[in-house]
Amino acid sequence: MRTFLGIDAGGSTTKFTKFDEQGNVLKKTVLDSIHFMRVQKDTMISILHQGSLDCEVDSSTFVACGVAGYGEDSQIRTLIEDAVHRVFPHALIMNDAEFATIGALGDQDGAYVISGTGSIAYLQKNKMRKRIGGWGYLISDLGSAFSIGKEVLEAFTKQADGRYPKTPLFPLIMSHFKLSEPHDLIRVIYEDRSLYRNCVADLAELVYPLAIEGDYCILEIYSRAGKQLAELIQEGSDESSPVAYGGGVLLHNDFVRSAFFTALGQRTILELQQPPEYAALVLGR
């Protein structure tokens, strides 16, 4: 029996799902991220090997994976390819957002927007896909968890300086980072730069209860993020084609998702029926 293994390697986790030819899930496991900015190559290989064992992959299994960070940079592409092909010699590799686009849209034209730790979008027409965004957090990942977290920190500094009136955000950040005084944040953030990306991205979820309570500062940040995500596909995208979405921010943050929908206007919204790993079945067939 031919089987299909889909690997969704995002910025936070690596999800392995094995399907049969009818699309039934045979095996599934979730392991740590293999993102090249988080772990070394040996660790990437180790995680992939564990996923192979957990899902009982054999020579009859078609393997396809979407990997965060797999894009235009040739050195990064080579690093990822070397790690993946060490465990899965014949695996098909692509960017994780393009991978999810295939799972979400199948063969139909449309757009797919993902907002997790980072943000990226793909426009699909006649099975050809155009990438928009995905520049990385150091350049521009607007609308992402990192971008939201960065704005949260900026708002905190303005409240600390007296440029903005203090809201419940101020004591929350003081408590979260265990700060004796606001400027201690500088030491905390710069203490271990390897943790900076995820530390900042985590703030997007931390402040969610404040939005529920009506903190205008957080509501403005969330609203701006939703509009920024919609802007990724507003130019060059056929307004009659549907829009799918994914990533933790758009899936779980009601405020960002609502602002995203509002900015899209009358566009048809597709609710995802399958996980990104399902793309392996589409591609393998």
The token duo for 57 is 């992959």
pLDDT in tens, 156-210: 999 999 999 999 999 999 999 999 999 999 999 888 777 888 899 999 999 999 9
Query: What's this model's pTM, rounded to 2 decimal places?
Result: 0.80
What are the start-end ranges of the E strands in the chain? 3-9, 13-19, 25-32, 61-67, 92-95, 110-115, 119-125, 128-133, 243-246, 269-270
In a domain? residue 168: no
Give Cα separations from 227 to 96, 206, 208, 261 (angstroms): 22, 21, 18, 9
The token duo for 51 is 């996923």
In a domain? residue 90: yes
pLDDT in tens, 145-154: 999 999 999 9
HSE value, Cβ hemisphere, 13 Å, CA-based, for 25: 12
In a domain? residue 230: no
The per-residue pLDDT for 260 is: 97
How many Cβ atoms sit within 10 Å of the Cβ of residue 273?
Answer: 10
What SS3 state is found at 24?
Answer: coil
- Secondary structure element (H or E) that encloses residue 15, with its range: strand 13-19
- Of all residues in the chain, the percent with pLDDT exceeding 90 is 71
Give the type of residue at 154.
E
In a domain? residue 113: no
The per-residue pLDDT for 197 is: 87
Alpha-carbon Rg for the chain in angstroms: 20
Buried b (16+ CB within 10 A) or exposed e, 275-285: bbbbbbbbbbe
In a domain? residue 216: no
In a domain? residue 48: yes
Higher pLDDT residue, 169 or 241? 169
In a domain? residue 63: yes
Mean pLDDT (the chain) is 92
Question: How many domains are there within the chain?
Answer: 1
| Structural domain range at position 18 | 3-106+273-284
What residues contact 93, with CB distance under 8 A and at least 6 apart?
A: 64, 65, 67, 70, 80, 81, 84
In a domain? residue 76: yes
In this prediction, residue 272 has a pLDDT band, given cuts at 50, 70 and 90, of low
The CATH number covering residue 100 comes to: 3.30.420.40
Contact (CB, 8 A) for 152 and 166? no
Residues, the chain: 285
Q: What is the DSSP letter of 268?
A: P
pLDDT in tens, 29-60: 999 999 988 899 999 999 999 999 999 999 99
The per-residue pLDDT for 236 is: 67
